[in-house]
Amino acid sequence: MSIIDQEERISKLKKLDNPTSKELRERVQEGAKEFKTSWLKLAQALYVISRDKLYEYWGYEKFEHYVEREVGMKKAMAVKLIKTYAFVEQQEPEYIKTEYCEDREANAVPELDAISVLRLAKGKKEITKQDYQELRKQVFDKARSAALVRKDLTAIIKERKHLDPDEEREQRNAAALRRFLNALRSFKHDMDALKLVRADIVKKAEELFKELEAEVEE
């Protein structure tokens, strides 16, 4: 860029930096924060309606009928809102307070989908308390996007599985044993139907089946 072009660009930017553009910028900031937190009011209302079964008083047999016909929302989305709100109310009550978002810039306010990923992470056995706290910081302290939080969660789970080969081996062994049992069941059925072997051998086979099934169920 030449010096003349650079000066023209600076001059143009100065013209655009006026009270009207500043007001517009602030309006976008406030709108972004409202957009990120507006789901809370809706989710809280849906939570109460579902919990107290208020939809029955309004003539709906099921909650999903109410949200689909009156709210125009899919059941899956309504359930996601309710579960995420319940999670926030229990785990992060500060987020529900108005002051939480008022004191933050728009890009520092957590988004619904990121909080939902954190909620799902808390219930996974591969996630340790330390893992959860790190993911929590990403969501509530750094306001990272749901895509990035989900990517980190997937990486943690893969790492945990890699670091626990004994568990993986047990799972493979159990799956192999189940396949073997299914093959034996099929073979036993053919033996019974075609009378291929003596009855006492079939009886021994049945006893073996019971022992193997008990081993798989343990």
DSSP the chain: --HHHHHHHHHHHHHH-SHHHHHHHHHHHHHHHHHHHHHHHHHHHHHHHHHHTGGGTTT-SSHHHHIIIII---HHHHHHHHHHHHHHHHH-HHHHSHHHHHTS-GGGSPPHHHHHHHHHHHT-TT--HHHHHHHHIIIIIS---HHHHHHHHHHHHHHHHHT-HHHHHHHHHHHHHHHHHHHHHHHHHHHHHHT-S-HHHHHHHHHHHHHHHHHHH-
Q: What is the pLDDT of residue 96?
A: 84
Mean pLDDT of 15-39: 78
- Quick: pLDDT tens for 57-69: 999 999 999 999 9
Mean pLDDT calculated for residue range 131-151: 94
Residue 36 pLDDT greater than 80, yes or no: yes
Asked if pLDDT for residue 52 goes beyond 90, the answer is: yes
Per-residue pLDDT tens for 80-125? 999 999 999 999 998 888 677 777 888 888 999 999 999 999 988 8
pLDDT recorded at residue 159: 83
Asked whether residue 75 carries a pLDDT value surpassing 70, the answer given is yes
**Residue 78: per-residue pLDDT:** 95
